Amino acid sequence: MEGSRLLRTTVFAVGALGGVSSAAYGLLTEQSRRARKVIGVPEEPPLNADGVFPPEVVTNPAELRFAVLGDSGAAGVGVDSAEQLPGVLLARGLAEESGRPVRLVTYAISGSTTRDLEPQVDRLLADPPEVAMLIIGANDVTVKLPVHTSARLLGEQLDRLRAAGVQVVMGTCPDLGAIRPIPQPLRAIAGSWSRLLATAQRAVVLRAGGVPVPLADLCSPEFIARPAELFSKDGFHPNAAGYDAAAAVLLAPLCAAAGVWASAQVRTLPVRPPARRLRLLPGPGSVGVVT
């Protein structure tokens, strides 16, 4: 996810709304310029540690295949070592809970939007895993991809995964309002947009038979309260502790989706009511206008 692109396009979106004065627009533009300097861009590509992760005690020698799809949040941009990647944390957790060796394959690519998800799914379907974890959506906000378009594209790829027998757990769009280098009022605007997208994603994931995990609701309060401890040095991506916090809320749904735990063992995940609601339209993966 690119901080500069988020700020640029958020200013554009605000300017397109009625009632924004030229003075206010100038203030937002200046805020975005300053925040871009603070956030910067990642200097190196994300780490990768795909492979087999054995449990300490093997109760079933059959490999459990686990795939990771999405953007920088799934790929793990911001950590210092491969052992801290979210895919690795979750693969190790699945291995210990299942007693099976877990084979991790990462298809996630930093900077991806939902438009870029199809080629990732193409690669995955060449050798389908039993369960996949997906995090995507933040970059949809940065490129001004309409919520209904993003939801439709997501639904199409979820239908392909489910038709191949892949169980899917999705961490819905994180709350961009938690990112402090984005000044106010830009931060509030980005946060509102990302939460609307998360609401739409949740509806589509449920419709496809997947498991949505509301990262904004479950993780943002902690990130807002302890930013210095949970964000990487760019102030935009999580650090190792931040990804550990996210993995902690994703592991139980993954265990249930993979058949390691009974669904009854996974508590109901709370969802913060959105300020505005999306009216769903008939048809797989389609979401209507905001009402």
Catalytically annotated residues: 72, 234, 237
What does the alpha-carbon distance between residue 114 and residue 204 come to, in Å, rounded to a whole number? Answer: 13
Hey, what amino acid is at 109?
A: I
Beta-strand ranges (E) seen in the chain are 51-53, 64-70, 102-106, 131-135, 167-171, 211-213, 278-280, 287-290
